Amino acid sequence: MQYRRHYQKGATYFFTINLADRSSDLLIKEVETLRHAFQTVKQKHPFHIDAIVILPDHLHMLCTMPNNDADFSKRIKLIKYYFSYNIAKTESISSSRLKKSERGIWQRRFWEHCIRNESDYRAHIDYIHMNPIKHGYVKQAKDWQYSSFHRFVTDGLLPINWGG
């Protein structure tokens, strides 16, 4: 059975994007390269990041697409590409990836969920901001620096002591 993605112009989506090596801490070690990849893609293909958390081996983000565009797959593909292009080739690469001239950094696919309503939106923001606690990296959301949680606090949307 072929997986079919749901594309809706102007919709908000929750994404999970994983490294191929789930024991890696590459996203934290190369966080500035990842940020640059996001900036590059956003300049060419705008979208709004409502919330995000970068963990060592995966990231979660909530994004809103422009009203005239729904192609989130292109954006994620380009983020992965720009990130991969700008880091050293140290990862192991399977023979199937070698045949396709692919790097071995990212899992080939990603997970997406189209946000249905305000409570779904809020639940996914909470999930994003709680994720470093869930994985045992910190005891409080405020202690994880690679999270939009800090923007939410600055904007008065969450208290500093939220989440632990």
Distances (CA, A) of 77 to 17, 110, 154: 10, 10, 31
CA dihedral of residues 32, 43, 48, 161 (deg, nearest 10):
30
Beta-carbon count within 10 A of 6 CB: 11
The three-state (H, E, C) secondary structure of 22-36, written as one string: CCCCHHHHCHHHHHH
Which is catalytic among the residues 3, 121, 137, 146?
A: 146
Distance of alpha carbon 158 from alpha carbon 30, whole angstroms: 28
Whether 13 is catalytic is no
Distance of alpha carbon 12 from alpha carbon 138, whole angstroms: 28
| DSSP-derived 3-state class of residue 88 | coil
Catalytic sites, residue numbers: 146
